[in-house]
Chain A
Amino acid sequence: MSWLNFFDNYTQEIKHSFGRGINANISPDEEVLFNKSYEAFENNNIIDAYEYFFKSLENFTNNISNENISTTREDDKLNFIIYQGLAKVTGFVTEKNLYAEVILCKKSSAKVALKRYILERNYQLTYTNYCSDDSNLKLKLYLDNITINPHKIFFPLREIALNGDYDKEFAKSEFSDIVLDDIKHLKTVDNQELKIKYNYLHTLVDKVYKKIKTFPSNDNSGMQAFSFLYLLFKIDYLLVPRHKIYQKMSKKIINYFNDENGTIEFKNEELKEYIDSLISMSFEQFSENFYNAKYTFSQTEKTSHEDINIFITESLKKIRWYKNNRYTQVIPMIYKYIALYILYNYGLHPVTKGLLHTLVEIQNRDFFEQLDYQTLYNEKTEVFSKRAIISRIENIIEPYQDKFKLLEPFGNELNYTSLNEFSNSFYQQIMNLNFEEI
């Protein structure tokens, strides 16, 4: 930390979940624990090895364990629980094997379509499969310990956790009469927070629709596309809806990017229809789509910093095009879109994720202020809390400087003259981050 910030503590305590993924920091001892697990497996201390491995998956928020993993020893057996959203993976390890399962729902409540769905899922899964016992439909995993090592445990456990969560989410939104089982670990979202989110959704949509009206009446499909996608990425990252909203929104976004035959106008219309349906929801309907949960595995694969740079470069080029062609009204939105797109689509290094979250916080001051977060930018006066921003960036980067010697905090290099200039300089600095291990 530089002397400038020595007397100020700008460490921001995170009180809410934002976006997908584990929304937490991995254990500071993760690498040590992983290596210990490896050694224990090599020495054939299977139970110890698994215990170290499970500990390496524990994650933390504000330096407090999220208790996303729990283990208990019982004679020659290690019982464990892994939390991943709706999925509670319970299992045990013996010297010879590992067994784990996620309960989906009561067998008696499952309809034929759900049974067909999970049997088709079995054809896609690698390590796990759906089955039924006397009372439940469940996803199970069985592993022999003969050739096992921490690398080999990671992928099967990730598969059961991610798919257990995904399929429970999917089943809940697709089969409305299903009663999901084993979800007592979920926590409800505070009613006040839900109201803030509900109202914010309406304000946000209203603002964007008003903005769209300012676009030139012809040749504005590209700008509209940015606006609608920006809206959806923002709803996803800031409001973090689950169940039906999440499922439908994901589908809409996937369809938008994958549909090569539809015109942009047609695809825009599809997005708008969906956004209209969101704002027509009553508060009660909206509230059914939220819960808080613990997460262990990230659902996105790690993306290289190079790929992120390519996306930023291409996006900044688009901004220049709009600027040169005097469509300046869409530019602030695209600056916000870039960060939200990256956070939605890419598996990020904690540094990149922390920095982009900070940028989102600055760009969306109105929302964060309602949730009682420190103000980093005053939209009315266009004044930035420069010292707080510099300190925040340092706090994000410093813990990783031992590993990445060329990683430098850049708060002083940013352009604080306007939000657009600030965003532009922030992206330039993200592109300059050097993750080379020396």
Chain B
Amino acid sequence: MNTQTILEKYIENIIQIMTPYGTGTGFIIDDLIITNSHVVGGLKEVVIASKEIKRKVSKVIYDDQYLDLAFIKLDNYQPKTALILSQTMVEDGDTTVAIGHPYGLNYSATEGIVSKASRFQDNLEYIQTDTAINPGNSGGPLLNDNGEVVGVNTFIIQNANNLGFALPYFYVEEAIKSFKELKREDIIKCTSCKNLIDEENIKNDYCPNCGTKLEVAKLRRKGYKPSGATKLLETILEKLDIDVNLARRSQVSWLIDRQSARVEINYYENGVIIGDSKLCGIPQNNIEDIYDYILSENNSLSYLQFSINENSIYLSYLIVDTSLTIDEGTTALKRLFELSDKYDNILIEKFGAIKQKKQED
């Protein structure tokens, strides 16, 4: 199969995984989403989305830092064409395809070859490939030309070209088998004795078998706790009935879709918080009329303002973190959500502005 056919056939198996620490890729095998441990960032819950799954929170039920492997629970969904794990090892020179979301570019497929079928690193075997793998590809599948999973894209050598490494399928197969045998969720693999441990049995983050301190147990126990202005901002979003877990793109950015409007909130290092709604594009005609209209609206708008950037009209709310209060933040963001949609419609219908095309999850 060529790369395009593989992508089209198995795209429903490819999952985007989002945590406050970043984004990565996963893929469906049976009733599990397979990904890297570093993608789930030691969290018990992550946000997932795919072509067929709307953004939702899902549980991380297996976390193995040793193999850098994690399983996420997949409820009530089976893709039309299921991905399967390969049963034969790749050979040097074999064609491989990586599918993932590098730098947030959804469902990107890249093609390459196996540079070395078996490369050892810290006593583990990896497939070395020149298939382009970038941040965001982590946890995604490396496929052979039959569309079977030969490995999990796990790491690259930074500042080098085309040096990617995938964890071979047999480690994944073995991990799934061992996990399923336990018939339990919330399993952590000890990085020292390699035993699978039920999280319930872990006391003070120590492995009950070998006494090693389990970093992942500590991270899962603590969870993600926003603080300062980030916490205040999330409280405001919750007040506005927004599921912050789904809205959160990172520790400092949130994305909220409300009807036709999409609002991005970013908290910058200089302390400025900006809620931007990218409305429509500037039309070819009546351009000055649009300028007159939005300049005039700016006069009466409070908290919000219209601006233009790269040929698009923005409605924005800007505030410095130390000035953010629950009352002002709630009023301002509520207005931003409501008015974005309203103004988008006015600008398109009355002035012929161009509707933006949105990138779906």
Do A116 and B308 touch (CB < 8 A)? yes
- The answer to whether A126 touches B272, judged by C-beta atoms less than 8 angstroms apart, is yes
Number of residues from B at the complex interface, CB < 8 A: 27
Can you list, as one digit per residue, whether each of A83-98 has a CB less than 8 Å from chain B (1) or not (0)? 0000000000000000
Whether B296 is near chain A, meaning CB under 8 Å from some CB there, is yes
Interface residues of B in 281-324 (CB under 8 A from A): 287-288, 291-292, 294-299, 302, 305-309, 314, 316, 318, 320, 322-324
Q: Does A127 contact B (CB under 8 A)?
A: yes
* Chain A, residue nearest B318 (CB): A126
Select A112's contact among B291, B299, B305, beta carbons within 8 Å.
B291
Within 8 A of B (CB), among A129-152: 129-133, 137, 140, 142, 144, 146-148, 152
What are the residues of chain A within 8 A of B327 when measuring CB–CB?
146
Q: Are B298's CB and A131's CB within 8 A?
A: yes
Size category of the binding interface on chain A: 20 to 34
A115 at the interface (CB under 8 A from B): yes
Nearest CB on B from A51, distance (A): 21
Q: What's the Cα separation between A127 and B271 when bound, in Å?
A: 13
Contacts of B299 in A (CB 8 A): 131-133, 140
Most B Cβ at <10 Å: residue of A122, A137, A147, A148: A122
Q: Does A212 contact B (CB under 8 A)?
A: no
Q: Does A120 have its Cβ within 8 Å of any Cβ on chain B?
A: yes
Q: Of residues 10 to 49 in A, which have CB atoms within 8 Å of B's CB atoms?
A: none
Q: Does the CB pair B292–A123 fall under 8 Å?
A: no
A155 vs B270: C-alpha distance when bound (angstroms) = 13
A383 within 8 A of B: no
Is B31 part of the contact surface with A, judged by Cβ < 8 Å? Answer: no
Of B295, B297, B298, B308, the most chain A CB neighbours within 10 A belong to B295
Q: Within 8 Å of chain A (Cβ to Cβ): is B5?
A: no
A129 and B296 in contact (CB under 8 A), knowing A116-B291, A123-B314, A146-B325?
A: no
B328 in contact with A119 (CB, 8 Å):
no
Is A119 in contact with B318, judged by CB distance below 8 angstroms?
Answer: no
Cross-chain pair count, CB within 8 angstroms: 73
For residue A180, CB closer than 8 A to chain B, the reply is no
List the B side residues contacting A148 at CB < 8 Å: 323
Q: Please measure, in the bound complex, the distance between the C-alpha atom of A121 and the C-alpha atom of B327, giving whole angstroms.
A: 28
* A126-B320 in contact (CB<8A): yes
| Docked complex Cα distance between A137 and B287 (Å) | 17
Provide the bound-state CA to CA distance between A29 and B103, in Å: 54
Which residues of B (197-220) have their CB < 8 Å from a CB of A?
none
The answer on a CB contact under 8 Å between A147 and B295 is no
B318–A144 contact, CB under 8 A? no
A118 at the interface (CB under 8 A from B): yes
CB distance from A59 to the nearest CB of B (A): 26
User: What is the bound-complex CA distance between A144 and B324, given in angstroms?
Assistant: 10
Which residue of A is nearest B291, CB measured?
A: A115
> Could you tell me the distance in whole angstroms from the C-beta of B99 to the nearest C-beta in chain A?
36
Closest chain A residue, CB of each to CB of B287: A112
Neighbour of B295 across the interface among A118, A142, A144, A155, CB < 8 A: A118
Question: Provided the pairs A130-B298, A131-B298 are in contact, do residues A119 and B308 lie with their beta carbons within 8 angstroms?
Answer: yes
Kindly state the separation between the CA atoms of A148 and B325 in the bound complex, as whole angstroms: 11
Nearest CB of A to B70, in Å: 40
Interface centre among B305, B322, B324 (most CB of A within 10 A): B305
Given contacts A119-B307, A120-B309, contact A132 B272 (CB under 8 A): no
Residue of A nearest to B331 (CB): A144
B320 and A129 form a contact (CB under 8 A): no
A119's partner among B294, B322, B323, B325 (CB-CB below 8 A) is: B294
Give A130 to B295 CA distance when docked, in angstroms: 7
B291 to chain A: which residues have CB within 8 Å?
Answer: 112, 115-116, 119
Complex interface: chain B residues within 8 A of A115 (CB) = 288, 291-292, 295
**Nearest chain B CB to A94's CB is how many angstroms away?**
14
Q: With a CB–CB cut-off of 8 A, which chain A residues contact B297?
A: 131
Contact B308 A147 (CB under 8 A): no
CA distance A119 to B292 in the complex (A): 10
A155: chain B residues at CB < 8 Å are 320
Q: What CA separation (Å) do A137 and B296 show in the bound complex?
A: 9
Q: How far is the CA of A142 from the CA of B300 in the complex (A)?
A: 11
With contacts A116-B291, A146-B328 taken as known, whether A123 is within 8 angstroms of B296 at the C-beta atoms is no
Select from chain B the residue with minimum beta-carbon distance to A124: B307
The docked-state distance in angstroms from the alpha carbon of A119 to that of B311 is 11
CB pair A122–B307 under 8 Å, yes or no, is: yes
Are A120's CB and B325's CB within 8 A?
Answer: no
Are B314 and A131 neighbours in the complex by a CB distance under 8 Å?
A: no
The reply to whether B318 and A131 contact each other, CB–CB distance below 8 Å, is no
Q: Give the shortest distance, in Å, between A103 (CB) and chain B (any CB).
A: 12
Collect the chain A residues with CB atoms within 8 Å of residue B316's CB. 123
Q: B295 contacts A119, CB within 8 Å?
A: yes
List the A residue with the shortest CB-CB distance to B297.
Answer: A131
Question: Which B residues lie within 8 Å of A129 (CB)?
Answer: 298, 305-307
Closest residue of B by beta carbon distance from A143:
B323
Asked if B272 contacts A131 (CB within 8 A), the reply is no
Q: Tell me the residues in window 144-169 of chain A with beta carbons closer than 8 Å to chain B beta carbons.
A: 144, 146-148, 152, 155
Within 8 A of A (CB), among B206-262: none
B323, A152: Cβ atoms under 8 Å? yes
Distance, CA A116 to CA B316, complexed state (A): 17
B255 CB to closest chain A CB (Å) equals: 19
For the complex, give the distance between the alpha carbons of A155 and B320 in Å: 10
- Look across to chain B and name the residue whose beta carbon is closest to the beta carbon of A111: B288
Whole-angstrom CA separation of A147 from B326 in the bound complex: 11
Residues from chain B with a CB closer than 8 A to the CB of A119 are: 291, 294-295, 306-308
Kindly list chain B residues whose C-beta atoms are within 8 Å of the C-beta of A152. 320, 322-323
With A115-B291, A146-B328 as known contacts, state yes or no: A132 contacts B309, CB within 8 Å. no
Residues 42-90 of B at the A interface (beta carbon under 8 Å): none
With most chain B CB atoms within 10 A of its CB, the pick from A118, A132, A137 is A132
Residues of B within 8 A of A140 (CB): 298-299
Residues on the A chain within 8 Å of B302, using CB: 142
- Name which residue of chain B comes closest to A133, CB basis: B299
Contact B308 A123, beta carbon cutoff 8 Å:
yes
Interface centre among B296, B306, B323 (most CB of A within 10 A): B323
Q: Can you list 16 A-B contacts with CB-CB less than 8 angstroms, sorted by A residue number?
A: A112-B287, A115-B292, A116-B291, A119-B291, A119-B307, A120-B307, A122-B306, A123-B307, A123-B309, A123-B314, A131-B305, A132-B298, A140-B298, A147-B322, A148-B323, A152-B323
Q: 3 closest Cβ contacts across the A-B interface? A: A122-B307, A131-B298, A123-B307
Given contacts A119-B294, A119-B307, 5 further A-B contacts (CB under 8 A): A112-B287, A115-B292, A118-B295, A122-B308, A129-B305
